[in-house]
């Protein structure tokens, strides 16, 4: 309490000095005694110096804090702006990449050398099967567009599957990866025929009925066989051999084939209006 009273007294004293100095300066100014004014001004400056230092000591940290707050807000706004610009740049890049991929896929679809003179209908995949027991996709074309059950479906890299259902405006495609799918196939090197069956996995197919005496190389291409009454034309690429194993006494090899088409990411396909068996 004594300390506060001491501070209060000093403050009152300083205010009185300021008041007296102001009165003195006004009086001297009226008399035109400028030398005396300078002397008093200098004295007042010396007296007020501690007060100015004290005030500056209090206000400087406040000013610094305020400046830091303003700078922090500016940095935060700048950071948000940079984040927004980065997000837009990433979005533009992703959109551009998607457009490039789509463009490339459409170009591949227009250049299907393996369809020969078979007429085709272009379609877009609109939904994929969510069931656990079949691998299918739905396309945005149907019987009104000349599509019928049994027609082969291809993409830019090769065989996708076969139309299993069709309405006027929609059709369902059973993929070659489905466990109910079977495709007459042959190895491109030996021309050995077999049957390619789905395993319920879009990454693996199984080639059956290949003689164990036939040499099968990893990476060998497998295409549709196109034998009499085949559901598919001859020579459509299907996949590549990833492994071929022979067991002693077995009547056939255990051959795994990877599809050429990414069946997980189908977007555009063509339905081949191939004569349907039994139609």
CATH number at residue 236: 2.40.10.350
- pLDDT by residue (tens digit) across 218-247? 999 999 998 766 789 999 999 999 999 987
**Higher-scoring residue by pLDDT: 69, 141:** 141
In a domain, 270, yes or no: no
| Maximum mean pLDDT: which of 99-103, 110-114, 259-263, 271-275 | 259-263
Between CA 109 and CA 259 the distance in angstroms is 17
On whether both 192 and 99 belong to a single domain, the answer is no
Alpha-carbon distance of 127 to 106, in angstroms, equals 19
Q: Is residue 122 part of a domain?
A: no
Instruction: Kindly tell me if the per-residue pLDDT of 101 is higher than 70.
Output: no
In terms of domains, do 2 and 107 share one? Answer: yes
Residue 145 lies in a domain: no
pLDDT band for 248, please (50, 70, 90 cuts). confident
Using 50, 70 and 90 to split pLDDT, how confident is the model at 111? low
Q: Does pTM surpass 0.85?
A: no
Domain-embedded: residue 40: yes
Q: Is residue 123 part of a domain?
A: no
Give the Cβ contact number of residue 197 at 10 Å: 19
- How far, in Å, CA of 270 to CA of 110, rounded? 9
pLDDT in tens, 78-89: 777 777 767 766
* Residue 187 to residue 210: CA distance in whole angstroms: 9
Q: Is residue 13 part of a domain?
A: yes
In a domain, 177, yes or no: no
Say how many domains are in the chain: 2
Per-position DSSP letters for 163-175, written without gaps between them: EEEE-SS-EEEEE
User: DSSP readout, 84-96?
Assistant: HHHHHHHHHHHHH
Supply the range of the domain harboring residue 240.
Answer: 182-262
In terms of domains, do 107 and 186 share one?
A: no
Does some domain include residue 97?
yes
Instruction: Assign 183 a pLDDT band (cuts: 50, 70, 90).
Output: very high
Most confident region among 52-56, 106-110, 244-248 by mean pLDDT: 244-248
141: confidence class by pLDDT, cuts 50, 70, 90: very high
């Amino acid at each position: 309490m004594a300390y506060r009273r001491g501070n209060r007294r000093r403050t009152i004293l300083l205010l009185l000095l300021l008041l007296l100095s102001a009165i003195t300066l006004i009086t001297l100014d009226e008399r035109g005694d400028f030398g005396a004014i300078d002397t008093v001004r200098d004295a007042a400056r010396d007296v007020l110096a501690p007060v100015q230092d004290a005030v500056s000591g209090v206000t400087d940290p406040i000013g610094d804090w305020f400046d830091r707050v303003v700078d922090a807000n500016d940095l935060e706004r700048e950071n948000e702006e940079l984040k927004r610009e980065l997000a837009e740049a990433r979005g533009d890049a992703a959109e551009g990449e998607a457009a490039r991929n789509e463009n490339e896929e459409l170009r591949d679809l227009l250049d299907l050398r393996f369809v020969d003179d078979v007429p085709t209908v272009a379609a877009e995949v609109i939904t994929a099967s969510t069931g656990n027991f079949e691998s299918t996709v739905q396309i945005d074309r149907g019987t009104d567009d000349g599509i019928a059950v049994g027609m082969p479906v291809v993409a830019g890299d090769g065989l996708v599957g076969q139309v299993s259902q069709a309405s006027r405006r929609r059709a369902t495609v059973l993929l070659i990866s489905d466990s109910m799918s079977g495709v007459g196939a042959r190895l491109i090197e030996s021309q050995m025929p077999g049957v390619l069956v789905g395993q319920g996995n879009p990454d693996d197919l199984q080639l059956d009925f290949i003689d164990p005496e036939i040499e099968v190389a990893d990476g060998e291409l497998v295409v549709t066989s196109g034998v009499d009454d085949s559901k598919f034309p001859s020579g459509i690429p299907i996949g590549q051999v990833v492994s071929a194993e022979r067991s002693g006494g077995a009547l056939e090899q255990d051959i795994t084939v990877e599809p050429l088409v990414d069946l997980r990411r189908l977007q555009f396909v063509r339905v081949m209006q191939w004569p349907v068996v039994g139609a």
